[in-house]
Structure 1
Amino acid sequence: MRRRRFVQLGTPLFTGALVAGCRGETPADDRARPAPPSGGPAPKRVMPEEGQPHERTWMAFGVSDRVWEPAQVPVAQRNLATIATAIARFEPVSMLVRQDELDLARGLVGDANVELVAAELDDLWMRDTGPVFVHSGNDTAGVDFNFNGWGGKQGHPRDAKVAGFVTARAGAETVHTDLVLEGGGIEVDGEGTAIITESCVLNENRNPGKSKKDVEAKLADLLGLKKIIWLPGIAGRDITDGHTDFYARFARPGIVVAGLDTDPQSYDHEVTERHLAILKAATDASGRPLRVEVIKGPATVRPEFASDDFAAGYINFYLCNGGVIAPEFGDAEGDSAARATLERLFPDREVVQLNIDGIAAGGGGIHCTTQQEPAGKP
């Protein structure tokens, strides 16, 4: 379902600090909100559910031939533009782009509602490198979860700075923590419940010595969590050590969409069956049993980029204002079944299916390339 290669970056692509601004955009410092006054209790923080209203979506046009196969680079770049322009039909998109690729990116996104922001990048996975936005009191903040290249598996000197850069660009406060995790490793319902994989967040390559109790206490403060449903995941088989967003997603509070790998030869087959059993027996923070909807992966994919790295799963969709941006893989039956399930679960949203084979060949999906900035506190 999800596999990313383990790659170490060599010579830096750029030197110097991240630089904001493109086509006369306002510098980040001019858009920043004043820091909250010192003293007094810290504001209560809550991570909204992805389906709640967004201010914008953040992405990164960071495909590099130091990480990707050369033949995949232009295809993945076109896929990123396709995702960005699809989302831009529903809400603004801000995309980080290397300085020397601004013209290329602008040519691909055209006149869509996509703001290009010059920045230094190692790769394109904004879900993991970007901040996790929360409502903080009456304002918005971004939690920097100390991206470390998925446990030191890939070079990340520039991507380690993306969370702070994006938070400043959004004019939000940065919240610091000693926890190391990625946005793709946590799924929330916005009402205090989260689904997290043990294989990622409790891994020694991220949070050595920390127990479930330690992590739960910190995430209660950072994200307003009251209950975590722990899935085992599977470590060491892909670069993420088994992120949640390829296994289970909240459609809304009380309803979870779960993936099922039906191939008995796949390493994900047994673990996805275990996940389904756990989710079907679980209750959320309000005590209600979860309704679990299953979407099986495609039986076949288009052959051009098919490989063991190919991430062939429908669970990695993205919710934006009025839309569901989802993948299709050329399997007529599987694509149609996934679409029908998403249309049933999200009757007030338009389901848009995209060919993202270049991104999938790199081991990720649509959700992995995006990070939502929620609208002001409801």
Structure 2
Amino acid sequence: MNRPDINRRRFLAAAGLTAAGAALAGTSTGSASARPAAAAAFRVPGEEVRHTRTWMTWPDSTGIWGGQLGGVQADIALIARTVAKYEPVVMCANPASAAKARSLCGSSVAVLTTIPVDDCWTRDTGPVFRTDGAGGLDAVGLGFNGWGNKQTHAKDALVAERIAAYVGVPYTRAGLVGEGGAVEQDGAGTLMATRSSLVNRNRNPGKTEQQLAAAMCTAYGASKVIWFDGVRGQDITDDHVDATSRFLAPGKALVQMPLASDNDAYARDARQQQRILSTATTASGTPIAVQQLQGPDYDKIRSTNPDFLASYANYYLCNGAVISAHFGDTTADRAAKATLARLYPGRTVEQLNIDRLGTGGGGIHCVTQQQPAV
């Protein structure tokens, strides 16, 4: 079957869930000493700050990716090599696939074999690093459970803790289950997220929106959450916010907009996010200035797969660059590059063809996790 068994835009809920993953779903994924994350003076900074390195993970499961695995590995390697032009990249790979990872990624990417992985979605499985503004660094784990037990995750559930241990920083477990792609932070106290992804019994049964907002703020060092309804049950992530809306800086945000003629669930979701952000304020009470990033015409992109994710907004910021995607709608691709160059002056905008990864419903932000400099 030339498509993932689990697709992030349209999935089979039971596929890919192993007995080990199912058993793990009901247990804590942190260490015995893991504790609810304390706010203290630590805060997750905005992604535009300088990074020490980027973390990525290497996919090697045909049970997940089927015949698409080779193409997805090539896309992951392309992203890693591109980011490595601007900052160090560490790729976590299982020992059996490390040689292929090294061969495709090249000498500019460090391949680490001591942190086992199930898949490539490091944004969701990796640690969320925090800084205290005084040289301190720690990490928070979001209790990854395979996007609500939809995919094998026995190894991935431990990636955050193991990366934190490798870096040598304190690790805590957040008081919620979620993924890094489900939460956007501005680094100054404001978060945004979709209810569909987090206020969801497949991740946080019995917890109210208010309880989850408090847990998110504690984990991220924030004080306000801007909620969107999102899209429930249509993709494996339950509609992560980072495919549609991003913070540019405190008081500034971006929303990828659909064509005026589009009226599917994701188009309606994007318009709602734009409306809510346009009238929202930051934690400090500042109105949020919202920029629009026009999405492509799905009739003009290269992929004809109905599950394809064509998100320019799912870009990754690294030191001196913006790494985004292009999809074959040449007019929209050029316009997106120009918009990102305008919004991030002084950074090089790199656009990559990651169509194989996009067919799996993900993008560049989904497979990267930054470690901020202190």
TM over 0.5: yes
**Residue among 362, 365, 374 paired with 2:363:** 365
- How much does 1:265 deviate? 4.5
For 1:330, the aligned partner's letter is G
1:93–1:334 Cα change, 3 Å: same
Q: Secondary structure at the match of 2:266?
A: helix
- Gapped regions of structure 1 (runs ≥ 5): 14-34, 36-40
Q: Does 1:254 align with 2:261?
A: no
Q: What's the counterpart of residue 11 of structure 2? A: 5
- How much does 1:329 deviate? 0.5
Q: What's the counterpart of residue 18 of structure 1? A: none
Q: Deviations over 1:265-308 (max 9, x none)?
A: 42212111111110111111121111111112211477775312
Mapped contact 1:130–1:166 kept (Cα < 8 A): yes
1:268–1:42 Cα change, 3 Å: closer
Q: Which residues of 2 match residues 1-378 of structure 1 at below 5 A? A: 3-6=9-12, 8-9=15-16, 43-70=40-67, 72-112=68-108, 114-118=109-113, 119-136=115-132, 138-262=135-259, 263-300=261-298, 305-376=303-374
| Aligned-pair Cα RMSD in Å | 2.0
Q: Secondary structure at the match of 2:358?
A: helix
Give the share of equivalent positions with the same residue, in percent.
41
Mapped contact 2:16–2:150 kept (Cα < 8 A): no
Q: Deviations over 1:313-363 (max 9, x none)?
A: 111000011110000001110100100100000011110000000110100
Mapped contact 2:41–2:221 kept (Cα < 8 A): yes
- How much does 1:134 deviate? 0.9
- Gapped regions of structure 2 (runs ≥ 5): 1-7, 21-32
For 2:105, the aligned partner's letter is V
Runs of at least 4 residues off by over 6 Å? 10-13, 301-304
Mapped to 2, the partners of 1:96 and 1:221 lie a distance apart of: 28
Aligned length: 347
For 1:101, the aligned partner's letter is S
Q: Secondary structure at the match of 1:68?
A: helix
- How much does 1:217 deviate? 1.9
Q: Secondary structure at the match of 1:348?
A: coil
Mapped to 1, the partners of 2:155 and 2:81 lie a distance apart of: 25
Q: TM-score, normalised by structure 2?
A: 0.88
Q: Deviations over 1:2-37 (max 9, x none)?
A: 715346326799xxxxxxxxxxxxxxxxxxxxx9xx
For 1:159, the aligned partner's letter is D
Mapped to 2, the partners of 1:337 and 1:249 lie a distance apart of: 18
Mapped to 2, the partners of 1:44 and 1:106 lie a distance apart of: 39
Mapped to 2, the partners of 1:339 and 1:42 lie a distance apart of: 37
Q: Secondary structure at the match of 1:270?
A: helix
Mapped to 1, the partners of 2:299 and 2:362 lie a distance apart of: 15
Mapped contact 1:4–1:364 kept (Cα < 8 A): no
Mapped to 1, the partners of 2:345 and 2:146 lie a distance apart of: 37
Mapped to 2, the partners of 1:217 and 1:11 lie a distance apart of: 32
- How much does 1:120 deviate? 2.1
Mapped contact 2:195–2:227 kept (Cα < 8 A): yes
- How much does 1:43 deviate? 3.5
Q: Secondary structure at the match of 2:184?
A: strand
Mapped to 2, the partners of 1:259 and 1:171 lie a distance apart of: 37
- How much does 1:121 deviate? 1.7
Mapped to 2, the partners of 1:274 and 1:236 lie a distance apart of: 18
